Copies of this chain bind each other. A is one copy, B any other.
Amino acid sequence: MRITLKDLAKETGYSITTISRALAGYDDVSEQTRKFILDVAERLGYQPNQLARQLQSQRTNTIGLILPAYGPRFSDAFFSEFLSGVGTEASSHSYDLLLATQIAGTEGLPVYKRIVGSGRVDGMILLRTQQHDPRIEYLHSAGLPFVAHGRSETDFEFSYVDVDGELGLLLATRHFISLGHRRIAFVAAMPDLMLTRHRLAGYYRALAEHDLPADPALVVYGDLTQQSGLELGLSLLQMDRRPTAIVASNDLMALGVVMAARQLGLRVGVDVAISGYDDTPLAAHADPPLTSVNCLVFESGRQACRQLIELIQADQPVVKQLLLQPNLVIRASSGTSRD
Protein backbone atom coordinates (compact mmCIF):
# COMPACT_ATOMS: atom_id res chain seq x y z
CA MET A 1 0.00 0.00 0.00
CA ARG A 2 2.74 2.33 1.04
CA ILE A 3 4.56 4.15 -1.75
CA THR A 4 8.31 3.56 -1.85
CA LEU A 5 11.13 4.86 -3.93
CA LYS A 6 10.81 1.74 -6.02
CA ASP A 7 7.24 2.66 -6.91
CA LEU A 8 8.30 6.13 -7.90
CA ALA A 9 11.08 4.68 -10.00
CA LYS A 10 8.66 2.43 -11.79
CA GLU A 11 6.20 5.25 -12.31
CA THR A 12 8.69 7.80 -13.59
CA GLY A 13 11.09 5.53 -15.39
CA TYR A 14 14.07 6.86 -13.48
CA SER A 15 16.28 4.83 -11.18
CA ILE A 16 15.85 4.67 -7.45
CA THR A 17 19.08 6.58 -7.04
CA THR A 18 17.88 9.45 -9.14
CA ILE A 19 14.56 9.58 -7.34
CA SER A 20 16.29 9.67 -4.01
CA ARG A 21 18.70 12.37 -5.10
CA ALA A 22 16.01 14.42 -6.75
CA LEU A 23 13.95 14.43 -3.57
CA ALA A 24 16.99 15.27 -1.49
CA GLY A 25 17.74 18.22 -3.75
CA TYR A 26 21.12 17.20 -5.08
CA ASP A 27 22.28 19.21 -8.07
CA ASP A 28 23.25 16.28 -10.20
CA VAL A 29 19.71 15.82 -11.37
CA SER A 30 18.36 18.27 -13.92
CA GLU A 31 15.85 20.83 -12.83
CA GLN A 32 13.30 19.50 -15.25
CA THR A 33 13.35 15.89 -14.11
CA ARG A 34 13.51 17.04 -10.51
CA LYS A 35 10.24 18.90 -10.92
CA PHE A 36 8.71 15.94 -12.66
CA ILE A 37 9.77 13.56 -9.90
CA LEU A 38 8.53 15.88 -7.20
CA ASP A 39 5.19 16.07 -8.95
CA VAL A 40 4.80 12.33 -9.15
CA ALA A 41 5.89 11.92 -5.54
CA GLU A 42 3.32 14.47 -4.50
CA ARG A 43 0.62 12.89 -6.58
CA LEU A 44 1.21 9.41 -5.20
CA GLY A 45 1.57 10.76 -1.69
CA TYR A 46 5.09 9.50 -1.14
CA GLN A 47 6.32 9.58 2.44
CA PRO A 48 9.85 8.36 3.13
CA ASN A 49 10.09 5.37 5.42
CA GLN A 50 11.90 6.65 8.45
CA LEU A 51 12.94 3.24 9.64
CA ALA A 52 14.90 2.60 6.47
CA ARG A 53 16.30 6.08 6.60
CA GLN A 54 17.34 5.72 10.20
CA LEU A 55 18.88 2.33 9.62
CA GLN A 56 20.90 3.71 6.76
CA SER A 57 21.93 6.98 8.31
CA GLN A 58 22.44 5.62 11.81
CA ARG A 59 20.57 8.57 13.21
CA THR A 60 17.08 8.39 14.58
CA ASN A 61 16.19 11.94 15.51
CA THR A 62 14.54 10.46 18.51
CA ILE A 63 15.10 11.02 22.18
CA GLY A 64 14.40 8.33 24.72
CA LEU A 65 12.71 8.86 28.02
CA ILE A 66 11.59 6.32 30.55
CA LEU A 67 8.56 6.90 32.70
CA PRO A 68 8.89 5.61 36.21
CA ALA A 69 6.22 3.19 37.23
CA TYR A 70 2.96 4.48 38.57
CA GLY A 71 -0.09 3.22 40.26
CA PRO A 72 -3.57 3.90 38.96
CA ARG A 73 -3.62 7.44 40.20
CA PHE A 74 -0.92 9.60 38.77
CA SER A 75 -1.12 12.53 41.05
CA ASP A 76 2.21 14.19 40.55
CA ALA A 77 2.18 16.98 38.03
CA PHE A 78 5.93 16.87 37.76
CA PHE A 79 6.16 14.49 34.85
CA SER A 80 3.57 16.06 32.68
CA GLU A 81 5.22 19.42 33.00
CA PHE A 82 8.68 18.08 32.47
CA LEU A 83 7.53 16.02 29.53
CA SER A 84 5.80 19.00 28.08
CA GLY A 85 9.02 21.00 28.30
CA VAL A 86 11.01 18.24 26.68
CA GLY A 87 8.41 17.73 23.97
CA THR A 88 8.19 21.38 23.11
CA GLU A 89 11.92 21.73 22.70
CA ALA A 90 12.24 18.42 20.88
CA SER A 91 9.62 19.18 18.30
CA SER A 92 11.11 22.55 17.56
CA HIS A 93 14.23 20.66 16.46
CA SER A 94 12.15 17.99 14.68
CA TYR A 95 13.01 15.37 17.21
CA ASP A 96 10.48 12.88 18.49
CA LEU A 97 10.26 11.17 21.83
CA LEU A 98 10.33 7.47 22.46
CA LEU A 99 8.66 6.69 25.72
CA ALA A 100 8.92 3.45 27.58
CA THR A 101 7.18 2.78 30.83
CA GLN A 102 8.91 1.01 33.61
CA ILE A 103 6.48 -1.53 34.94
CA ALA A 104 5.74 -1.07 38.62
CA GLY A 105 7.76 -3.33 40.82
CA THR A 106 10.44 -4.09 38.26
CA GLU A 107 14.00 -2.91 38.18
CA GLY A 108 14.72 0.08 36.00
CA LEU A 109 17.96 -0.83 34.29
CA PRO A 110 16.68 -3.52 31.93
CA VAL A 111 14.30 -1.06 30.29
CA TYR A 112 17.20 1.29 29.67
CA LYS A 113 19.28 -1.46 28.19
CA ARG A 114 16.45 -2.48 25.94
CA ILE A 115 15.82 1.01 24.61
CA VAL A 116 19.45 2.01 24.26
CA GLY A 117 20.54 -1.33 22.87
CA SER A 118 17.77 -1.33 20.35
CA GLY A 119 19.36 1.59 18.55
CA ARG A 120 16.14 3.50 18.33
CA VAL A 121 17.30 6.65 20.09
CA ASP A 122 20.12 9.13 19.64
CA GLY A 123 20.16 10.03 23.28
CA MET A 124 18.34 9.72 26.57
CA ILE A 125 16.95 11.99 29.19
CA LEU A 126 17.13 10.67 32.71
CA LEU A 127 14.67 11.50 35.44
CA ARG A 128 15.08 11.53 39.18
CA THR A 129 18.71 10.64 39.56
CA GLN A 130 19.91 8.73 42.57
CA GLN A 131 23.01 9.25 44.62
CA HIS A 132 24.50 6.14 43.19
CA ASP A 133 22.76 5.70 39.88
CA PRO A 134 23.41 2.56 37.84
CA ARG A 135 21.56 4.07 34.90
CA ILE A 136 24.08 6.85 34.62
CA GLU A 137 26.96 4.45 34.79
CA TYR A 138 25.35 2.29 32.19
CA LEU A 139 24.67 5.14 29.78
CA HIS A 140 28.16 6.49 30.26
CA SER A 141 29.73 3.14 29.57
CA ALA A 142 27.45 2.59 26.61
CA GLY A 143 28.68 5.87 25.19
CA LEU A 144 25.20 7.15 24.42
CA PRO A 145 24.62 10.88 24.82
CA PHE A 146 22.40 11.62 27.78
CA VAL A 147 21.34 14.45 30.01
CA ALA A 148 20.14 13.83 33.52
CA HIS A 149 17.64 15.82 35.44
CA GLY A 150 19.44 15.91 38.71
CA ARG A 151 22.97 15.24 39.84
CA SER A 152 24.64 12.07 41.00
CA GLU A 153 27.90 10.89 42.49
CA THR A 154 30.09 9.50 39.76
CA ASP A 155 33.77 9.17 38.94
CA PHE A 156 33.22 11.05 35.70
CA GLU A 157 31.57 14.25 34.61
CA PHE A 158 28.24 14.17 32.83
CA SER A 159 25.70 16.65 31.56
CA TYR A 160 22.79 17.53 33.74
CA VAL A 161 20.15 20.10 34.36
CA ASP A 162 19.17 20.50 37.94
CA VAL A 163 17.22 22.83 40.10
CA ASP A 164 19.24 23.98 43.06
CA GLY A 165 17.52 22.09 45.85
CA GLU A 166 19.92 23.44 48.43
CA LEU A 167 18.85 26.93 47.51
CA GLY A 168 15.21 25.85 47.53
CA LEU A 169 15.27 24.55 51.04
CA LEU A 170 17.50 27.40 52.14
CA LEU A 171 14.85 29.84 51.00
CA ALA A 172 12.01 27.96 52.64
CA THR A 173 13.82 27.46 55.94
CA ARG A 174 15.09 31.03 56.03
CA HIS A 175 11.55 32.19 55.42
CA PHE A 176 10.32 30.31 58.49
CA ILE A 177 13.25 31.52 60.56
CA SER A 178 12.50 35.09 59.58
CA LEU A 179 8.93 34.57 60.76
CA GLY A 180 10.31 33.70 64.19
CA HIS A 181 10.25 29.90 64.07
CA ARG A 182 12.97 28.06 65.96
CA ARG A 183 11.91 24.43 65.74
CA ILE A 184 11.55 23.66 62.06
CA ALA A 185 11.04 20.11 60.82
CA PHE A 186 11.88 18.72 57.42
CA VAL A 187 9.83 15.96 55.83
CA ALA A 188 12.35 14.72 53.30
CA ALA A 189 11.97 12.29 50.41
CA MET A 190 13.68 8.93 50.10
CA PRO A 191 17.26 9.17 51.40
CA ASP A 192 18.81 7.55 48.32
CA LEU A 193 17.63 10.34 46.06
CA MET A 194 20.15 13.04 45.32
CA LEU A 195 17.55 15.73 45.75
CA THR A 196 17.16 14.65 49.34
CA ARG A 197 20.80 15.27 50.09
CA HIS A 198 20.86 18.67 48.45
CA ARG A 199 17.73 19.86 50.17
CA LEU A 200 18.98 18.55 53.45
CA ALA A 201 22.13 20.62 52.96
CA GLY A 202 20.05 23.73 52.39
CA TYR A 203 18.01 23.01 55.46
CA TYR A 204 21.10 22.65 57.63
CA ARG A 205 22.75 25.66 56.10
CA ALA A 206 19.79 27.87 56.95
CA LEU A 207 19.81 26.61 60.52
CA ALA A 208 23.55 27.16 60.81
CA GLU A 209 23.29 30.69 59.45
CA HIS A 210 21.16 31.55 62.45
CA ASP A 211 22.98 29.37 64.97
CA LEU A 212 19.95 27.16 65.44
CA PRO A 213 20.54 23.61 66.70
CA ALA A 214 19.91 20.79 64.24
CA ASP A 215 17.70 18.29 66.01
CA PRO A 216 17.93 14.92 64.21
CA ALA A 217 14.43 14.06 65.40
CA LEU A 218 13.08 16.87 63.24
CA VAL A 219 14.25 15.28 60.00
CA VAL A 220 12.04 12.45 58.78
CA TYR A 221 11.81 10.56 55.50
CA GLY A 222 8.67 9.92 53.47
CA ASP A 223 7.92 8.43 50.08
CA LEU A 224 6.40 11.52 48.43
CA THR A 225 2.80 10.36 48.89
CA GLN A 226 0.14 12.25 50.77
CA GLN A 227 -0.32 9.25 53.02
CA SER A 228 3.26 9.34 54.19
CA GLY A 229 2.94 13.07 54.75
CA LEU A 230 -0.03 12.39 56.96
CA GLU A 231 1.73 9.73 59.00
CA LEU A 232 4.95 11.68 59.44
CA GLY A 233 2.99 14.84 60.19
CA LEU A 234 1.07 13.09 62.93
CA SER A 235 4.20 11.81 64.59
CA LEU A 236 6.02 15.14 64.31
CA LEU A 237 3.13 17.14 65.67
CA GLN A 238 2.68 14.80 68.62
CA MET A 239 6.28 15.14 69.81
CA ASP A 240 6.96 16.53 73.24
CA ARG A 241 8.33 19.77 71.93
CA ARG A 242 6.62 19.78 68.59
CA PRO A 243 7.98 21.79 65.66
CA THR A 244 6.21 25.05 64.89
CA ALA A 245 7.04 24.88 61.20
CA ILE A 246 7.34 21.99 58.77
CA VAL A 247 8.87 21.97 55.32
CA ALA A 248 7.90 19.04 53.12
CA SER A 249 9.80 17.81 50.10
CA ASN A 250 6.82 17.93 47.78
CA ASP A 251 3.36 19.44 47.79
CA LEU A 252 1.60 16.15 48.22
CA MET A 253 3.40 15.33 51.44
CA ALA A 254 2.79 18.88 52.60
CA LEU A 255 -0.91 18.36 52.06
CA GLY A 256 -0.61 15.20 54.11
CA VAL A 257 0.95 17.23 56.89
CA VAL A 258 -1.90 19.70 56.58
CA MET A 259 -4.33 16.84 57.10
CA ALA A 260 -2.37 15.71 60.12
CA ALA A 261 -2.49 19.18 61.63
CA ARG A 262 -6.25 19.31 61.10
CA GLN A 263 -6.76 15.94 62.69
CA LEU A 264 -4.91 17.20 65.75
CA GLY A 265 -6.96 20.37 65.87
CA LEU A 266 -4.11 22.66 64.87
CA ARG A 267 -4.75 25.62 62.59
CA VAL A 268 -2.43 25.68 59.59
CA GLY A 269 -0.76 29.06 59.25
CA VAL A 270 -1.48 29.89 62.88
CA ASP A 271 -0.55 27.01 65.16
CA VAL A 272 1.76 25.43 62.68
CA ALA A 273 3.39 26.78 59.54
CA ILE A 274 3.74 24.46 56.56
CA SER A 275 5.52 24.68 53.26
CA GLY A 276 5.45 22.38 50.28
CA TYR A 277 7.87 21.96 47.43
CA ASP A 278 7.49 21.98 43.62
CA ASP A 279 4.67 24.53 43.51
CA THR A 280 2.34 22.26 41.62
CA PRO A 281 -1.15 23.52 40.77
CA LEU A 282 -2.21 21.79 43.97
CA ALA A 283 -0.32 24.27 46.10
CA ALA A 284 -2.05 27.35 44.76
CA HIS A 285 -5.51 25.89 45.22
CA ALA A 286 -5.10 24.02 48.47
CA ASP A 287 -6.87 25.01 51.64
CA PRO A 288 -5.14 27.02 52.88
CA PRO A 289 -3.04 27.92 49.84
CA LEU A 290 0.34 26.34 50.27
CA THR A 291 3.66 28.13 50.41
CA SER A 292 5.92 26.22 48.04
CA VAL A 293 9.16 26.30 46.11
CA ASN A 294 8.72 26.73 42.40
CA CYS A 295 11.15 24.47 40.61
CA LEU A 296 10.77 25.52 37.00
CA VAL A 297 9.94 22.03 35.91
CA PHE A 298 8.83 22.92 32.40
CA GLU A 299 11.98 24.94 31.95
CA SER A 300 14.14 22.10 33.22
CA GLY A 301 12.65 19.75 30.68
CA ARG A 302 13.20 22.25 27.97
CA GLN A 303 16.80 22.87 28.91
CA ALA A 304 17.56 19.20 29.35
CA CYS A 305 16.27 18.52 25.87
CA ARG A 306 18.14 21.45 24.40
CA GLN A 307 21.39 20.26 25.96
CA LEU A 308 20.84 16.74 24.78
CA ILE A 309 20.28 17.80 21.20
CA GLU A 310 23.41 19.92 21.33
CA LEU A 311 25.28 16.94 22.70
CA ILE A 312 23.98 14.68 19.96
CA GLN A 313 24.84 17.09 17.21
CA ALA A 314 28.27 18.03 18.54
CA ASP A 315 31.26 16.30 16.97
CA GLN A 316 33.06 16.58 20.26
CA PRO A 317 31.09 15.61 23.36
CA VAL A 318 30.90 18.57 25.71
CA VAL A 319 29.73 18.23 29.27
CA LYS A 320 27.38 20.99 30.30
CA GLN A 321 25.93 21.42 33.70
CA LEU A 322 23.11 23.78 34.40
CA LEU A 323 21.75 24.71 37.79
CA LEU A 324 18.44 26.55 37.74
CA GLN A 325 17.46 28.75 40.65
CA PRO A 326 14.09 28.01 42.20
CA ASN A 327 12.04 30.68 43.90
CA LEU A 328 9.89 30.63 46.98
CA VAL A 329 6.19 31.29 46.53
CA ILE A 330 4.74 32.49 49.78
CA ARG A 331 1.11 31.72 50.54
CA ALA A 332 -1.15 31.47 53.57
CA SER A 333 0.08 28.12 54.89
CA SER A 334 3.29 29.62 56.19
CA GLY A 335 1.38 32.09 58.33
CA THR A 336 2.62 35.43 59.58
CA SER A 337 5.35 36.49 61.93
CA ARG A 338 5.14 34.87 65.36
CA ASP A 339 6.30 37.94 67.23
Interface residues of A (CB under 8 A from B): 1-2, 47-52, 54-55, 60, 62, 67, 69-70, 72-77, 79-81, 83-84, 87-88, 90-92, 96-104, 113-120, 143, 255, 281-282, 285-289, 298-299
Contact = CB atoms under 8 A, between A and B. Distances in A.
A304 B2 CA distance: 26
Nearest to A82: B74
Given A80-B80, A287-B288, A51 B119 contact: yes
Nearest to A3: B117
Given A47-B117, A51-B120, A62-B98, 11 more contacts: A47-B114, A48-B118, A49-B55, A51-B51, A55-B55, A70-B88, A72-B298, A88-B101, A91-B100, A92-B103, A286-B286
A50 B88 contact: no
Contacts of A92: 103
A90 B101 contact: yes
A81 B72 CA distance: 8
Nearest to A54: B51
Nearest to A4: B119
A2 B143 CA distance: 10
Given A102-B91, A118-B50, A73 B81 contact: yes
11 contacts: A2-B119, A47-B117, A55-B55, A67-B84, A74-B80, A74-B81, A96-B100, A98-B98, A282-B285, A286-B287, A287-B288
Nearest to A2: B119
Given A87-B101, A98-B99, A287-B289, A74 B77 contact: yes
